[in-house]
Amino acid sequence: MLQRMILTVVVPCYNERANVAPMVAALDAALSGLTWEVVFVDDDSPDGTAQAVREIARVDSRVRCLRRIGRRGLSSAVIEGTLSSSADFIAVIDGDLQHDETRLPLMLAAVQSGADLAVGSRYVEGGDSEGLSSPFRVKLSNIGIRIAQMVTGTKITDPMSGFFLLPRALFERLAARLTGQGFKILLDLIMASPEKLSIAEIPYKFRSRTAGESKLDALVLVQFAGLLIDKILRGVVPLRFIAFTLVGAFGVLVNVLVLEFARAAGEGFATAQTIGTVAAMIANFQLNNQLTYRGQRLKGARAWRGLILFLVVCSLGSVANIGIARALYAANGRSILSGAAGAVIGVVWNYAVSATLVWRGR
């Protein structure tokens, strides 16, 4: 007998090998009586998460594995897992057993009876965030929630939740408007919707992790800030370019500081400025490699090659910068405008050329 697929559970996972089998067992217990499947979206984890999924999938057709190569990212993993589904509803849940899968039937019922979106919340009556690993995480979480509420204009108590359920049709309508960047797919979804979504919040207790480790770090927070800026600018300026420019601005700081140190150490201006510029370029390469191009980070020998290319690209960029500023200054005599125009052209050049030459996608 053919059965209509009601629910696809999308599980983003990175290095969650030990959690795969318990996750399938937990879903099996929580979703009995329902036609469901689970898609583990794995970014080619070195611990062999994908093999662990496939071992189960071979004998259980409700289990699927989507293995992505050469890419990282929680949000984009969730998007691609969802787009592989044909079910009526989609649930998204972490693969580390920190979310409470026994709440899924309740979340499904909420959406079936009219809510656009059901969100597992640690912060409504009956919810609990005790699984947050440290007081620092609790504070971070609170600040993030405050900002997210401001930007989205919603009252939702846990906008950073990675645990939610919605009709697949709604997700597909919003899919093209998602940025797919970073960690906060729920926030991305809410902000992508032109109409206000009706959201049902279902309390759950955030459990502690027992196996594996959290992937949230400071860089993820920077990416989160990027997502918000992107929303405010409505995607007119690419997020990558903003990150690149912020890194560049930081480079100016490095340049000036190193310049002053070198001067204090007795170097002449020209030498000190050269040292400062090279130091800034190296710092910028590092930051861009860690942050702006996190997803295609260069490692080992390729990082050295990338650094040298980056130095060449940026040197040409500064030649263009100075040349254009000089020509404009000669024509109109306004130094601030000429300097700024030169700098803008330098940044755009550096961005465009290094994006294709230094960090070109695979």
Q: Does 98 bind Mn ion (CB under 5 A)?
A: yes
| Euclidean distance between CA atoms 26 and 338, whole angstroms | 64
Q: Phi and psi at residue 9, in whole multiples of 5°?
A: -95, 120
| Euclidean distance between CA atoms 94 and 285, whole angstroms | 33
With contacts defined by CB under 6 A, name the span among 90-98, 226-234, 252-260, 326-334 that binds ligand GDD.
90-98
According to DSSP, the β-strands at 89-92 and 117-121 are: unpaired
DSSP state string for 121-133: ESSSTT-B-TTSS
With contacts defined by CB under 6 A, name the span among 72-80, 145-153, 249-257, 280-288 that binds ligand GDD.
72-80
Interacting residues with ligand GDD between 292 and 351 (CB under 6 A): none
Question: If residue 15 lies in a helix (H) or strand (E), which one and from where to where?
Answer: none
- Per-residue x/- mask for ligand GDD, residues 178 to 197, rule CB under 6 A? -----x--------------
Number of helical (H) and strand (E) elements in the chain, helices listed first: 12, 7
Cβ of 62: how many Cβ atoms within 10 Å? 17
Q: Does 77 bind ligand GDD (CB under 6 A)?
A: yes
Which of ligand GDD, Mn ion, none sits in contact with 216, Cβ below 5 to 8 A by type?
ligand GDD
Contacting residue, 16, 43, 80, 96, with Mn ion by CB under 5 A: 96
- Per-residue x/- mask for ligand GDD, residues 274 to 303, rule CB under 6 A? ------------------------------
CB-nearer residue toward ligand GDD: 48 or 339 = 48
Torsion sign over Cα 135, 138, 142, 143: positive
Cβ of 26: how many Cβ atoms within 10 Å? 18
CB-nearer residue toward ligand GDD: 183 or 351 = 183
With contacts defined by CB under 6 A, name the span among 70-78, 236-244, 271-279, 312-320 that binds ligand GDD.
70-78
Residues making up the chain, counted from first to last:
362
Q: Does 101 bind Mn ion (CB under 5 A)?
A: no
Contact 37, 9 (CB under 8 A): yes
68 contact partners, CB below 8 Å, separation of at least 6: 41, 42, 43, 44, 77, 80
With contacts defined by CB under 5 A, name the span among 91-99, 104-112, 241-249, 318-326 that binds Mn ion.
91-99
Provide the 3-class DSSP secondary structure of residue 70. coil
- Per-residue x/- mask for Mn ion, residues 182 to 221, rule CB under 5 A? ----------------------------------------
Q: Which residues bind ligand GDD (CB under 6 A)?
A: 12-14, 16, 41-43, 72-74, 77, 94-96, 98, 141, 160, 162, 183, 214-216
